[in-house]
Amino acid sequence: MLVILSIMMIVADTRYSLFAPVRPYLTWLVAPIQVVVNTPQKILYWTGDHLESREGLVKENQSLNQEVLVLQSRLQKLNSLQAENVRLRELLDASQRVDEKVVMAEVIGFDQNAYSHKILIDKGFSSGAYVGQPVLDATGVLGQVVETSAYTSRVLLIADASHFLPVQLSRTGFRSVLRGVGDLKDLKLMSVPQSADIKKGDILTTSGLGKRFPAGYPVGVVRSVKHISGQPYTDVDVVPLAQLGRSRHVMLIEKSKTEHQ
C-alpha cells in the first residue's frame, strides 16, 4: 500500500509539481539524515588518507635516517683520512730531521698479551730490518726490533717492562736509564740521586750509550719528581713522547752493518 502511495505521489509531483512549495522544507528534514549516512564513509576516507600519509612519513623518515648514517660514515672516514694525512706529514717532517737513513713502515698488528707491549710492522729482513734496530714515530722513540721475518718484524715498545733505554736530560746533561713499567703512558727514570737537578717538564733524549739508539732523539718528558724522605733515590715519572698505542706509521733507523753487528 505504501509503495503504491509513493508511486502516486511521485507521478503527481512530476506532472503537476504538487510538492514544489514544500520541497525546500523537506530538504531541511532530509539533510541531517544525509549527514549521518555520509559520515562513516567520510571517516573511512579520512582514516585511509591519514594512514597513507603516516606510512609515507615513516618511510621517508627511515630513508632520511639511512642517508644520515651514510653521510656520518663518510664524514668519519674523511676525518680519519685527514688525521692520517696530518700524521704522515708529521712523520715526513720528522724523517727530514733524522740524520741517519730511515725506512718507513706501517704498523699491521699488536701483541694482545697484557704483560707484553709489542707491535708488528710490515718490514722484514728483506727490507733491511734487523734485530736491535731503533724504531721512531713522528714524535719520539717508539722501541726497537726484537724479531724479524722476511716481510714483517716485531717491535718491543719502550713501555714494556723488559725494556731499558739510556737517556740524558736535555737541560743539564744528566744521564740515567729509562725503563718501562708495562704502561703505555708511564715510564720510570732509574737511579736518580736526591741531589740531581731534575724537575717537571724536563725533556729526556737518547744518550747514545750502549750504541743501540743514536744520541739526541726525544724520548719523554718528566711528569713528576718525588723526593721520598729516607730513600737514596728520587722517584721520577716520565711520559713517553711517542704515540705508543696509536702510531700507525713508523721509521726504522738504518745504521751501517758494522754498527748493528
Rounded to 5 degrees, what are φ and ψ at 236? Answer: -120, 120
Superfamily of domain 164-240: Rod shape-determining protein MreC, domain 2 (2.40.10.350)
* Domain layout of the chain by residue ranges: 24-97, 101-158+247-260, 164-240
**pLDDT over threshold 90, residue 213:** no
The pLDDT of residue 258 is 42
Handedness of CA 139, 143, 144, 147 (dihedral sign): negative
Fold agreement between 101-158+247-260 and 164-240: yes
Architecture (CATH level 2) of domain 101-158+247-260: Beta Barrel (2.40)
Q: What is the mean pLDDT of residues 212-217?
A: 86
Distance of CA 132 to the CA centre of its chain: 32
Least confident among 3-7, 153-157, 164-168:
3-7
**pLDDT over threshold 60, residue 259:** no
Distance CA 50, CA 40 (A): 15
Q: What is the pLDDT of residues 166-196, one digit of tens each?
A: 999 988 889 999 999 998 999 999 989 988 8
Burial annotation 130-140 (CB, 10 A radius, 16+ → b, else e): beebbbbbbbb
Q: Residue 115: which residues within 8 A CB-CB, separation 6 or more?
A: 161, 182
Instruction: Kindly tell me the burial class for residue 46, based on how many C-beta atoms sit within 10 Å of its own C-beta (0-12, 13-18, 19 or more).
Output: exposed
The grid cell for 108 is 699491521
Least confident among 109-118, 149-158, 181-190:
109-118
Q: Where are the beta strands (DSSP E) in the chain?
A: 101-110, 118-121, 134-136, 141-148, 153-157, 164-169, 175-183, 186-193, 203-206, 218-226, 233-240, 249-254
